Structure 1
Amino acid sequence: MGQKTEARIRQRGSLRATDAELSALVSQMACRCAKCTNYDDAPLARAMFQSVEERGQTLDAAAGSLGIDVGDGAYLLAGLRQDVAVDFALTLLTGRKPDLLNRQEEPV
């Protein structure tokens, strides 16, 4: 979680995050996961995730706006969702902040 998010949670005196804070965390994880991969299509996967998960576009609309086949878009989205799920699970299991996980980042 970012420092601002942590500060807001502390101010409330609660360890529970709001829906918006969880959404921001998942979005940050998706961006980081896309950056951590060695795949040439990582930027497309990230764009698909943002379009579908954050903007609420349909799979067809998101793929069309990126100029790719719907099947390819679904494949990219599924791969990034899996990476985010693993990252999220590691965060919960280790109790560490997501940015402190032992992941090696590669330039996209």
Structure 2
Amino acid sequence: MSSLYSKLSVLKDDEDFFLNSRTNKTIKEIQKELNITIDEAMVLSIIMSYQIQDTYSTSFDTLKKDFKLQSDEYLKYLNIAYKLEKKGFIALAEERRR
């Protein structure tokens, strides 16, 4: 699994990531290794890619802008992220309005 981290660092720079990810070998490796769906592997991979490059938490709004996601796509991937959080793969932090 550790060898995947070097492959993940380039994903953040791929604007067509979500279009090409179903055929990406790294994504398929992660899916198989962690026993998760391809969509979960896509979302987990891009979050990990941001973490590796930026060493700070990434908001989902940043992902929406960087990958030019439409609102319905954004909500789909956000829902997948919540599923990953329930499974213990990631921890999401939400800003609270006062």
TM-score, reference length from structure 1: 0.35
- Structure with higher Rg: it is 1
TM-score, reference length from structure 2: 0.38
Higher relative contact order (CA 8 A, sep 6+): 1
